[in-house]
Structure formats: structure tokens, C-alpha cells
Amino acid sequence: MKVIIEKYLKYLAVEKNASPHTITSYRNDLNSFLTFCADQEQQENDLVTVQSVTRLTIRLWLGDLSDKGLAKSSIARKVATLRSFFKYCFKRGHIDKNPAQLLVVPKKDKTLPKTVNSSDIERMMDSINTETPSGRQDKALLELFYGTGIRLSELIQLNTSEVDLRNNQII
């Protein structure tokens, strides 16, 4: 498998014009997987064959990475590496069946947006000079942004025709 990995990395560089960073990441991922396979088969890295890899082997490796606390985004990249590598192996005739074909990429953790505390908002509001038209506009926009939870992109695209001042609402 070691020789096929090197051929695959050369293929990425020459035919796919992959960046050096991508090739380094793929090399690290594949060497890590190769070491895991060798440990599972209780043999040297050089003796592991691409034909000996099963879907179970891959799932065990991914489980091991998860147990070690690797982030879901890192595991997702490693899944992408394996899918690409085994697709290459299948197309080149190195394997009869692609063990990575049905692998599912783990969903990335969604992070909540950071919030601004009320004292920071008060400081910003107090710093605006409301004696000028632009200052009053800034204060109104900031109050609308903070008070409604409107997205910045929505606020930017807001037209005056969409603001109903009589009923205090945005249409």
C-alpha cells in the first residue's frame, strides 16, 4: 500500500495540480491510516496491502480517531482523503471493491455566534454623537440591529420603503 500511496500523491500533484499543503495533509492522513492498518494486522507498514483494507478497518480507524478526541472537521477531512484515495485505487484496478465508497462524512459541530453584552452596547450607544444626522442614523441602525436580532446582510439590504414607522414594524 505504501507504494500506491506515493503514486497517488504524485497523481494529485501532477494530474490534479493539488497544492503542496493538500498533498502534505493527504500524506499524513494516509500514513496514519497505514500505521493503523499495520497495527490491526500486526505487521510492518510495508506489508500492508490495499486489498486487505475493508470498510470495517476504515470504520475502526475513524472510531479510534474520534476516541482520541479529534475534531469532527479533522475526521471529515480524513474521510475525504480515504474516499479519494480508494476511488483512485479502484479506477486504477488495484482493488475490486472500494471500501470507502459508502463512507459518510461526520457532520461538523455548529458553533453559536458570539454575542455582545449589554454594557458594550450601552458604551457604543453613548459614544454616538446624536447631534448630527449621520450620528442619529448610526444610533437608529445600531438599535435596530441589536434590538431585533436582524442579520447584518438583512440590515444592509433594508430599504426605507420596508420600514413602517406608524406601526413600528419592518415589512
Here the cell at position 146 is 441589536
Q: Which of 118, 12, 99, 3 is nearest to 51 (CA)?
A: 99
User: CA Rg, the chain, in Å?
Assistant: 27
Share of the chain above pLDDT 70, in %: 99
- Given a cut of 90, is residue 77 above it in pLDDT? yes
Considering only residues 16 and 105, tell me which one the structure prediction assigns the higher pLDDT. Answer: 16
Give the pLDDT confidence score for residue 133 in this predicted structure: 94
pTM metric for this prediction: 0.65
Task: For the chain, give every domain's residue range.
Answer: 2-91, 118-170
Supply the pLDDT for residue 88: 98
Indicate the CATH number of 2-91 among 1.10.3210, 1.10.150, 1.10.10, 1.10.3470. 1.10.150
Looking at the chain, the whole-number percentage of residues with pLDDT higher than 90 is 67
Phi (first) and psi of residue 135, to 5 degrees: -65, -40
| Amino acid letter for position 4 | I
User: If you ran DSSP here, which 8-state letter would residue 114 be given?
Assistant: P
